[in-house]
Structure 1
Amino acid sequence: MKSPVLRAVLASTLLASSVLLGGQAYAKTLVYCSEANPETFNPAIGIADSTMDAAAKTIFNRLVEFKPGTTEVGPALAESWDVSPDGKTYTFHLRHGVKFQSNEHFTPTRDFDADDVLYTFNRQRDANNPYHKLGGGTYEYFNALGMGTLIDKIDKVDDYTVRFTLTAANVTFLAGLALDYLSILSLEQTEKMVAAGTPELIDSQPVGTGPFMLEAYVPDSQVRYTANKDYWRGAPKIDTLVFAITPEPTTRVERIKANECQVAAPPPPSAVADLRTDPDITVLDLKGQNIGILGFNVEHQPLGDVRVRTALAKAIDRKAIVEAVYAGAGTVAGSVVPPAQLGAVTDAGIDYDPDGAKKLLKEAGHENGLKISLWAMPVSRPYNPNAKRMAEMIQADWAKVGVQSEIVSFEWGEYLKRTAAGEQDTFLLGGSSDNGDPDNMLSYLLSCDGVKGGSNRSRWCDKDFEKLLNEGRVAADQKERAAIYGKAQAILKAEVPVAPIAHSMVAIPIRKSVLNYVLDPFGRQNFAAVDIAE
């Protein structure tokens, strides 16, 4: 938490930056109405989309990245790579002449090289790494997606060549390297900040190789960036990028209509039709690769009993929830796996059956009632645009079968932290796919590694399910992979660690003055190539 003094300094810096910008006759500013504060500016220790948009996509780059608007992996800080015939060794040839940014605390003395790659990965995978415990030492994504067990070793061949040796061939590895949490960090900045006794600046005032440099951050207000004129892909066309933090969806609608922001995070579904009639706004539609879920913490009794979990899922009228919460922009989920992904099934959801719920509760010894907590997200997310309303509807449905529930919520960062620690009984969450592969969502939400890493908030670990995940990562044949994920989804339906609620359509409103904006297939925001019409 930032002190009042630091907040005041940041506020004055932000004001000074605005005044300075006003004196530049041709400066271009783009304002994005975001939905939440970033948890941190270090993608390695963050998990929320708001963090990845504010840090990974703006300040940093990865070894490889998805080509804009696609799920195809292309070169980034690695300009090329070779794969061994057995699929276990990847050799990356790094780009020369890539410069790290500077700020008031740090000026780099060298370009990006192999040492930064080894630092980024080894800090997360090796508990004995001297920097492993910085920032709390929690690497939720890295652990949940199994990178620690997948990577056998990483070797520096020379200053611009890095070799990864895997424990087994893995068809998801290359796309996995494009995920935001593997943004390449500066080893030199870390060394200097640790030596100076200010390691917290690594996370709060980082330097990367990306298109924008962090200038100032005022929590609950805005994040301000300036263009990185030395960006290796070419300087951005906009001079200043501002994330105006606007948690309330209706306020985002008001701001974009008033041209107070030019791009906005998803509006409430009920506002989309009106936005489409505005002559100055274009609404871009994305069939979301996402899932909104109700999760059950199996370590909290009686939720360890599958009969109780199934009963609670059967008691929920998902159709009514989707109609009320998603307002025509969502569909009842047939599975945790989004329908556009390989192997997705449509029959792994739990149908509404309140009489069946009562019967199961009686069998489990809870005929006379049950009291549990129901945690609801404090923010609007594409996969759940109104968690408070959803929680209220679930609460009412459960009351009809004799289950009393208390709705609990916290600030977004605190909510994620506490649910990762397992404080909740039941919880609303979900996610948007990072790469379009079913392994991504299933592993992050439900793997055994995710229990240890904190992303599996149901804290459910099943050896048969885990075996299928491992098989899916190795199988190269797409039909074989689809069959594997079909079996995995059948286990989820039987065991009910989560109840899939809905998949949503995602609407992104942009002002027509915005040029070169490319809709990200995973709903993330990237302004590196965006321009504003003069």
Structure 2
Amino acid sequence: MKGYKFFSLTLFLIAGLLFISACSSEGSGGEDSGDTNVPSEITYATTSDAAGLSPIDTNDSVSSNVTYQVYETLFRQNPETLEPEPLLAESYETPDENTWVIKLKEDITFHDGTPFNAEAVKYTFEQLKDPDRAAPRASLLEPVESIEVEDEYTVVLKTEEPYGPMLAALSHTNAAIVSPTADKEGNINKEPVGTGPFVFEEWTEGDQITLKRNEDYWRETPEIETVTFKVVPETSTAISMLETGEVQFIDQVPSDHISRVESLNGVEVQKSEGTRVSYLGFNMEKEPFNDPEFRQAVAYGINQEAYVSQLNGLGIHNESIIGPKVFGYNEEATSSDYEYDPEKAKELIQENGYEGQEVTLLAANRDNYMKMAEIVQSQLTEIGINASIETMEWASFLDTARQGDYEMTFLGWSNSTADGSELLYPNLHSDNIGSSNYSRYSNNEFDNLVEESRTIVDQELRKEKLHEANLLAMEDAPWVVMDHGMVTLAYDESVEGLVVDPTGMWSLYPVSRK
């Protein structure tokens, strides 16, 4: 009996210890607690606040990072091939070269509970095209002559002429479909309403934007519950926050900071060649910037290598406006007619009476643009031009540049479609002066070539037209290309499924935390 009592007591004590251990494990969040410890929040640090949250009314990468999570397009680009594939669209057909019949997916609702259907697509696209609304990327649908509702889930787009990049245009973030009800009754630039995997929660301007998981999402529900876009103006501060875990990822890592980021424990870094082009642009409607010999002098006097060499591998020197990762690129355009030649620059300056010319370089208060401005300022001084720098925060800068209230400025174009037509047309075609053609460049021959690149369906012929247009713009020099950029992403090792594509875009839909 004594042995039995001892054995029973031992079992009782062991059971008690196991119970206490289990309770302790559950309470402390140990590995045996299932999924309760997996973080469901993610914070992204952005150096600038969004300009707005409506895909119709904005056209900048900072805003697009947010809208890309909230809204969706009819088509999307495959992140690996960059080929368009259906998203909100189910399928499409082209019964003739000017007609696009698009079947939509059914049983999808906007975040406000209203239905996604052909009427919503028609409304969105008509708003994008409406000259009174002055959407900055109205050019995406400029060739579309009519938008018709065939039935509840079929929309028909008719163009005046064939439109080669149609699917690329319908994949663009600024062609995302908005809730007509929300747009009519509210302000989607402040409170966005889409069909995407995340729902707008709050925007404290200058501080942060918060999104919540869309519990009724039409695809599988995202794993991340809360997304915060935190405004952190100083890159060094953002990196420190990444290091301490206050934020989980950053993108567009400046060259001055890439080595520091790569040295951080527990931080992964992605780097790859992208579609972005950065440039020094002239305001072609002001003197002396409308003088080709002044622009040529500046182009000869700018040594882009001096800028690229400071990018620590995050930029490529290539003077072609259409970059290597963009449809329409031809290696023959790698070098321009204005290779760095300071003596030739000085000669043109003196011959045309521009010695001592005062110019102002407008730059957004972002690291890459400030670096460009400082280098160009120094180089212009060397050839006899007195340049000063004016800086502005991002949203104000965009408004000022769009209105043409500047002389020379620095800008970039990420080219979300990776298509040369959707680089040259919005940026340099005269149709878009006053919207996305910040340089106010106008050349009839160039315009015609770009229009042909948009109306031709034969892709090889499109490439030829784009190459011709590219060479012509390089000769006219409304831009001096500073570099073609790399896309970068730095994220905490707990983040899984986060990938940046060559256009610089990333989606939080497939992301999880471990």
**TM-score after normalising by structure 2:** 0.89
CA-based RMSD of the aligned residues comes to 1.8
- Give the CA deviation at 1:483: 2.3
**Which residue number corresponds to residue 114 of structure 1?**
118
Tell me which moved more, 496-505 or 348-357. 348-357
SS at 1:406 equivalent: strand
**Which residue number corresponds to residue 22 of structure 2?**
none
- Given candidates 492, 505, 509, the residue that maps to 2:490 is 509
**Which residue number corresponds to residue 145 of structure 2?**
152
8 Å contact kept, 1:63–1:178: yes
**Which residue number corresponds to residue 161 of structure 2?**
168
- Give the CA deviation at 1:410: 1.2
- Given candidates 344, 360, 376, the residue that maps to 1:356 is 344
Residues paired across the two proteins, number: 476
**Which residue number corresponds to residue 307 of structure 1?**
293
Amino acid at match of 2:351: E
- Give the CA deviation at 1:178: 0.6
- Give the CA deviation at 1:530: 0.7
Q: Return the alpha-carbon distance in structure 1 between the equivalents of residues 121 and 253 of structure 2.
A: 38
Distance 1:379 1:174, change over 3 A: same
- 1:258-407 matches, cutoff 5 A: 258-324=244-310, 326-341=311-326, 342-344=328-330, 345-348=333-336, 350-366=338-354, 368-380=355-367, 386-407=368-389
Q: Please list every run of 5 or more consecutive structure 2 residues that lacks an aligned counterpart in the other structure.
A: 1-35
Q: Deviations over 1:56-83 (max 9, x none)?
A: x111111111234441211111111111
Q: Return the alpha-carbon distance in structure 2 between the equivalents of residues 111 and 95 of structure 1.
A: 11
**Which residue number corresponds to residue 125 of structure 1?**
129
8 Å contact kept, 1:272–1:507: no
Q: Please list every run of 5 or more consecutive structure 1 residues that lacks an aligned counterpart in the other structure.
A: 1-23, 103-107, 128-132, 194-198, 381-385
**Which residue number corresponds to residue 48 of structure 1?**
60
SS at 1:283 equivalent: strand
**Which residue number corresponds to residue 235 of structure 1?**
221
Structure of larger gyration radius = 2
- Give the CA deviation at 1:349: 6.3
Q: Deviations over 1:20-72 (max 9, x none)?
A: xxxx98761011112321111101110110101112x1111111112344412
8 Å contact kept, 1:343–1:483: no
8 Å contact kept, 1:216–1:224: yes
**Which residue number corresponds to residue 520 of structure 1?**
501
- Give the CA deviation at 1:272: 2.4
SS at 2:56 equivalent: helix
Tell me which moved more, 26-35 or 443-452. 26-35
Q: Return the alpha-carbon distance in structure 1 between the equivalents of residues 115 and 211 of structure 2.
A: 22
Amino acid at match of 1:158: D
Amino acid at match of 1:213: V
Amino acid at match of 1:60: Y
Q: Return the alpha-carbon distance in structure 2 between the equivalents of residues 252 and 155 of structure 1.
A: 47
Q: Return the alpha-carbon distance in structure 1 between the equivalents of residues 115 and 267 of structure 2.
A: 41
8 Å contact kept, 1:349–1:499: no
SS at 1:43 equivalent: coil
**Which residue number corresponds to residue 73 of structure 1?**
84
8 Å contact kept, 1:225–1:240: yes
8 Å contact kept, 2:178–2:194: yes
8 Å contact kept, 1:334–1:349: no
The runs of at least 4 aligned residues of structure 1 exceeding 4 Å deviation read: 24-27
- Given candidates 194, 204, 207, the residue that maps to 1:218 is 204
Q: Return the alpha-carbon distance in structure 2 between the equivalents of residues 37 and 291 of structure 1.
A: 22
Percent identity, please.
Answer: 27
- Give the CA deviation at 1:480: 2.5
**Which residue number corresponds to residue 5 of structure 1?**
none
- 1:399-478 matches, cutoff 5 A: 399-452=381-434, 454-478=435-459
Tell me which moved more, 337-346 or 311-320. 337-346
Q: Return the alpha-carbon distance in structure 2 between the equivalents of residues 322 and 126 of structure 1.
A: 40
Q: Return the alpha-carbon distance in structure 1 between the equivalents of residues 236 and 404 of structure 2.
A: 32
Q: Deviations over 1:443-475 (max 9, x none)?
A: 2221112214x2111101111001111111233
**Which residue number corresponds to residue 19 of structure 1?**
none
